[in-house]
Amino acid sequence: MNPRAADARQATAFSTVANVAAPGHRQADAPYTLTSPIPVQNRIIGGIPTTDARAAFAHDLTHDNRARPFIVAGHSQASNALVNLLSGDLRTHPAVCAGWSLRT
């Protein structure tokens, strides 16, 4: 099974109102990350997973978005990377992140 195809299928609920992008990203080793202290977890997820989320988002805005509204959604590590994206790179854009409290 193609995991990227599964991502695209799961995001189709939004396809009538937004462009669907389901980019892959590199993940940190979950057993190591989740057993580390919170500051270490934040540093790990703030590294490669967040870098990949930023690159995918920048690519989408530049090449595919066509100025349409967007929804960002993620699960597990991707959620944490998106929180980093929303609380840093998107500070000047209105955003709602369901299930998380964002403070800038």
Residue 2 lies in a domain: no
Residue 10 lies in a domain: no
Does an H or E element contain 61, and which? none
Cα torsion angle, 62, 66, 70, 76, sign = negative
Interval 22-74: pLDDT, tens: 777 788 898 999 899 999 998 998 899 889 888 888 888 888 777 776 777 77
Q: Model's pTM, two decimal places?
A: 0.68
Residue 9 lies in a domain: no
Residue 47 lies in a domain: yes
The residue segments making up the domain with residue 35 are 28-104
Residue 67 lies in a domain: yes
Residue 22 lies in a domain: no
